[in-house]
């Protein structure tokens, strides 16, 4: 690294998977990592968290699908595996002072400060000593805003962040590729961008999930008039906002809601139907990267900031309300399409990623509000018509 650090490379595997041809892509990745370490003359280790991944990430993912939600395995993998099991392995087993990952993100610590920290044992008492002055480490967007990965890091523990360096913080993807080319790592440069869920690979999602969950057939129902439009294999094969494949329909229909009691999946006839737009979400207990909610939110229970629930979506201005149980209500400045329970609401204040909370509840859709207004108007008109004229 040219910064005077002693570096050790570690390859982490989380999933035993074979692609269609029976070839394990993890083997190829591991081989690539080993070759890089060899040419840099850096020690190389590998660790397997297949068991932990299955119990702490994947089984949780299946449970969420069964509840009608759409989980985010990448956020959960960073929270439970990379910045928990792997972090402990790096610090405790390898005796490292810090771990470095290839995320495009920054922290409030300079790299040198990561090493200068005195290693204090976690407090044994329930409350941290009020006099123990420790400025929490903040998480900031990386310089390459297009590749910024703070979204995926929004659930990681403060203790792990304190001991993490992001060498790519100030670099763009293009520049990183240039460095790799100059170092002669052409075998790595040829790799495709991996965007999908790592363990599914090229497979179709419906086929993949049906390997793990029993099919639960149900009806596609029109949100507009309750007509049964067709059938599906299980609500968990579908997510809000996606196009529903309904036999015999010329027009495109989109998933707008699910009823996991009846198995009905509600659909609407256009991609931007008002039933897909909402401006309020509630999360479960919110995870603040710095451990405590921002001072202004703690003081007044309200705060203005920005929101996203998908990795690269544009940030939306919002107002956050802190509830007694640590959960938050988020009111968006404009209705957003396909807000989805199970996904994470990630909050930003300027360049700082404040943390995230899993979305558990949605406010009413524009369609519901519109129907409510129409009913009120109709009732009002009906009342006016039925009021007898007073005798003159």
Is residue 392 predicted with pLDDT exceeding 90? no
Tens digit of pLDDT for each residue in 274-288?
A: 999 999 999 999 999
Cβ-based neighbour number of residue 220 at 10 Å? 22
What pLDDT score was predicted for residue 331?
98
Residue with tokens 């690294």: 1
Higher pLDDT, 168 or 382: 168
What pLDDT score was predicted for residue 383?
83
Residue 336 has phi, psi (to 5 degrees) of -120, 145
Residue with tokens 């402990």: 88
| Secondary structure of the chain as H, E, C letters | CCCCCCCCEEEEECCCCCCCCCCCHHHHHHHHHHHHHHHHCCCEEEEECHHHHHHHHHHHHHHHHHCCCCCCHHHHHHHHHHHHHHHHHHHHHCCCCCEECCCCEEECCCHHHHHHCCCCCCCCCCCCCCCCCCCCCCEEECCCCCCCCHHHHCCCCHHHHHCEECCCCCCCHHHHHHHHHHCCCHHHHCCCCCCCCCCCCCCCHHHHHCCCCCCCCEEEEECCCCCEEEEECCHHHCCCCCEECCCCCCCCEEEEEEECCCCEEEEECCCCCHHHEEEEEEECCCEECCCCCCHHHHHHCEEEEEEECCCCCCCEEEEEEECCCCCEEEEEEEEEECCCCCCEEEEEECCEEEEEEEEEEECCEHHHHHHHHHHHHHHHHHHHHHCCCCCC
Among 37, 77, 318, 353, the one annotated catalytic: 77
Task: Based on the residue annotation, tell me whether 353 is a catalytic residue of this protein.
Answer: no
- Of 27-31, 93-97, 136-140, 278-282, give the lowest mean pLDDT range: 27-31
Tens digit of pLDDT for each residue in 253-265?
A: 999 999 999 999 9
The confidence band for 237, taking pLDDT boundaries of 50, 70 and 90, is very high
What pLDDT score was predicted for residue 29?
87
Tens digit of pLDDT for each residue in 290-317?
A: 999 999 999 999 999 999 999 989 999 9
Task: Based on the residue annotation, tell me whether 198 is a catalytic residue of this protein.
Answer: yes
What pLDDT score was predicted for residue 200?
72
Kindly report the average pLDDT of the chain as a whole number. 91
What pLDDT score was predicted for residue 1?
46
Is residue 195 predicted with pLDDT exceeding 80? no
Is residue 132 predicted with pLDDT exceeding 60? no
Tens digit of pLDDT for each residue in 107-123?
A: 999 878 888 776 666 66
Mean local confidence (pLDDT), 75-86: 96
Is residue 334 predicted with pLDDT exceeding 80? yes
Tens digit of pLDDT for each residue in 145-193?
A: 899 999 999 999 999 999 999 999 999 999 999 999 999 998 888 877 6
What percent of the chain is predicted at pLDDT more than 70? Answer: 89
Q: Cα 139 to chain center, whole Å? A: 16
Radius of gyration of the chain (CA): 25
Is residue 53 predicted with pLDDT exceeding 70? yes
- Please state whether beta strands 344-349 and 105-107 pair in parallel, antiparallel, or not at all (unpaired): unpaired
Tell which residue, 263, 267, 268, 266, has the closest CA to residue 218: 263
Is residue 2 predicted with pLDDT exceeding 60? no
Highest mean pLDDT among 122-126, 141-145, 327-331, 374-378: 327-331
What pLDDT score was predicted for residue 120?
61
Tell which residue, 252, 222, 218, 221, has the closest CA to residue 237: 218
Tell which residue, 303, 359, 367, 357, has the closest CA to residue 335: 367
Q: CA 328, CA 357: separation in Å to the nearest integer?
A: 8
Is residue 102 predicted with pLDDT exceeding 70? yes
Angle, CA 215 vertex, CA 212 and CA 218 arms, to 5°: 145
What pLDDT score was predicted for residue 192?
72
For residue 50, give both structure tokens.
């297949």
Is residue 199 predicted with pLDDT exceeding 80? no
What pLDDT score was predicted for residue 248?
84
């Amino acid at each position: 690294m040219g910064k005077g650090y002693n570096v050790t490379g570690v390859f982490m595997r989380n999933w035993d998977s074979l692609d269609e041809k029976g070839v394990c892509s993890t083997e190829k990745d591991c081989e690539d990592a080993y070759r890089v370490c060899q040419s840099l003359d850096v020690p190389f280790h590998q660790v397997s968290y297949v068991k932990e991944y299955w119990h702490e990430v994947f089984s949780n993912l299946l449970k969420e699908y069964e509840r009608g939600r759409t989980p985010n395995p990448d956020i959960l993998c960073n929270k439970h595996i990379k910045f928990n099991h792997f972090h402990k392995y790096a610090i405790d087993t390898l005796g490292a002072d810090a771990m470095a990952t290839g995320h495009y993100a920054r922290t409030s610590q300079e790299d040198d400060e990561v090493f200068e920290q005195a290693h204090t044992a976690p407090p044994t008492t329930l409350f941290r000593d009020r006099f123990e002055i420790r400025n929490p480490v903040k998480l900031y967007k990386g310089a390459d805003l297009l590749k910024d990965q703070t979204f995926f890091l929004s659930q990681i523990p403060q203790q792990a962040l304190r001991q993490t360096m992001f060498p790519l913080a100030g670099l763009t993807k293009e520049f990183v590729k240039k460095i790799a080319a100059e170092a002669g790592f052409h075998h790595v440069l040829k790799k495709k961008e991996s965007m999908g869920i790592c363990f599914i690979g090229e497979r179709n999602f419906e086929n993949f999930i049906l390997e793990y969950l029993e099919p639960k057939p149900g009806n596609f129902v029109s949100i507009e008039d309750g007509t049964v439009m067709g059938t599906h294999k299980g609500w968990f094969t579908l997510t809000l906002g996606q196009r529903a494949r309904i036999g015999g329909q010329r027009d495109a229909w989109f998933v707008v809601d699910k009823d996991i009691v009846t198995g009905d999946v509600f659909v609407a006839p256009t991609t931007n139907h008002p039933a897909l737009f909402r401006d309020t979400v509630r999360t479960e207990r919110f995870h603040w990267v710095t451990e405590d909610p921002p001072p202004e939110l703690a003081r007044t229970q309200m705060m203005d900031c920005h929101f996203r629930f998908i990795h690269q979506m544009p940030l939306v201005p919002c107002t956050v309300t802190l509830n007694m149980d640590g959960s938050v209500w988020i009111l968006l400045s404009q209705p957003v399409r396909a807000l989805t329970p199970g996904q994470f609401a990630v909050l930003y204040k300027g360049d700082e990623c404040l943390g995230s909370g899993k979305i558990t509840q949605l406010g009413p859709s524009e369609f519901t509000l519109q129907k409510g207004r129409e009913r009120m108007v109709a009732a009002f008109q009906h009342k006016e018509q039925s009021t007898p004229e007073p005798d003159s």
